[in-house]
């Protein structure tokens, strides 16, 4: 069996190209690297290096070996991480989400949630969902996608409904409902990390201008001291940042958007093998999700 440290030396040499740089990168002596390379050639019974008086380089076989060695090292790290994550998952539930709304929802429910539950507050992408579940990096993941595979399934939790907050003296502010078409040409202040909602608003109002803010507190300050419209959802009244701002008269009116794309189904995905473990929590989440929460009219 090839020892891991020999593969690490080979991969490092392929990147560094010299013995001296390889030794420095691995914090060992140059003779140590030389002995390791010789041992690796003996173990594989092939020539990996072309040795010249003042230069050493990889043969074509050595280049292939370095590529395969890097894959093996990556697979080994994936194996270790997956096993460690699985061990941790036996003692705790980790929730992730691709959208910010569920974070507000979970914060609101914090005192009612199981003590062994942890919430990752950094949004992940939908593309990461399956890998994070299969690697036991997460137990449950909120998204707007229903996933049904041999080992992953999803449960519908509820709908997140988009609301636009307009300056109350605008003529559109007198409506009980509004469409994306009626918002054309406006400029909006928007949080950067809004997941799939970003694509929704950009597609639905292509000629609008979106002023994205990466920091929530900066977003709150700008909405407080300006008249820019902004978006919220039926979960926003549970957001502590919004709750503080709503105490102030910011001269805006919250109007629900009627377009179909403004009503996003929210699912929780999980491994089918973990169904029995997560079912009680899924039932709790479904029961707590707001059926209808009207945004306060100001």
CA atoms within 13 A on the CB side of 267: 14
For domain 4-85, the question of CATH label 3.90.25.10 is answered with no
What pLDDT, on a 0 to 100 scale, did the predictor assign at position 250?
66
Pairing label, strands 252-256, 140-143: unpaired
User: For the domain bounded by 160-263, which CATH number is listed?
Assistant: 3.40.190.10
Query: What is the block-wise mean pLDDT of the chain (298 residues), using blocks of 10 residues?
Result: 89 91 91 90 91 89 93 87 70 88 92 87 94 91 96 96 91 88 94 93 96 88 87 88 54 92 96 90 92 46
Calculate ∠ Cα 22-65-135, nearest 5°: 90
Q: Do residues 281 and 117 touch, judged by C-beta distance below 8 A?
A: yes
Q: What is the pTM of this model?
A: 0.69
Domain ranges, ordered by start, for the chain: 4-85, 89-157+265-288, 160-263
What pLDDT, on a 0 to 100 scale, did the predictor assign at position 268?
97
Same topology, domains 89-157+265-288 and 160-263? Answer is yes
Q: Who contacts 172 (Cβ-Cβ below 8 Å, separation ≥6)?
A: 166, 178, 182, 183, 255
Q: Return the CATH class of domain 89-157+265-288.
A: alpha beta
């Amino acid at each position: 069996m090839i020892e891991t440290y020999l593969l690490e030396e080979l991969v490092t040499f392929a990147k560094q190209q010299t013995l001296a740089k390889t030794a420095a990168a691995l914090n060992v002596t140059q003779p140590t690297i030389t002995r390791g390379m010789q041992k690796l050639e003996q173990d594989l019974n092939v020539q990996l290096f072309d040795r010249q008086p003042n230069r050493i380089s990889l043969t074509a076989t050595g280049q292939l070996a370095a590529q395969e060695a890097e894959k093996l090292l990556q697979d080994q790290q994936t194996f270790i991480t997956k096993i460690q994550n699985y061990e941790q998952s036996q003692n705790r539930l980790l929730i992730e989400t691709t959208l910010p709304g569920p974070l507000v929802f979970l914060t609101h429910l914090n005192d009612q949630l199981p003590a062994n539950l942890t919430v990752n507050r950094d949004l992940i992408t939908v593309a990461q969902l399956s890998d994070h579940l299969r690697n036991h990096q997460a137990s449950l993941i909120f998204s707007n996608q229903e996933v049904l595979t041999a080992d992953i399934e999803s449960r519908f939790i509820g709908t997140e409904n988009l609301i636009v907050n307009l300056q109350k003296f605008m003529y559109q502010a007198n409506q009980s409902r509004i469409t994306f078409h009626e918002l054309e040409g406006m400029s909006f202040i928007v949080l950067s990390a809004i997941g799939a909602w970003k694509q929704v608003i950009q597609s639905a109002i292509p000629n609008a201008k979106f002023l994205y803010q990466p920091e929530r507190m900066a977003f709150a300050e700008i909405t407080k001291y300006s008249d820019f419209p902004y978006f919220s959802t039926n979960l926003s009244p549970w957001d502590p940042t919004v709750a503080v701002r709503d105490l102030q008269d910011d001269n805006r009116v919250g109007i629900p958007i009627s377009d179909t794309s403004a009503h996003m189904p929210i699912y929780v995905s999980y491994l089918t093998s973990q169904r029995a473990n997560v079912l009680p929590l899924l039932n709790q989440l479904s029961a707590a999700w707001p059926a209808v929460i009207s945004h306060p009219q100001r």
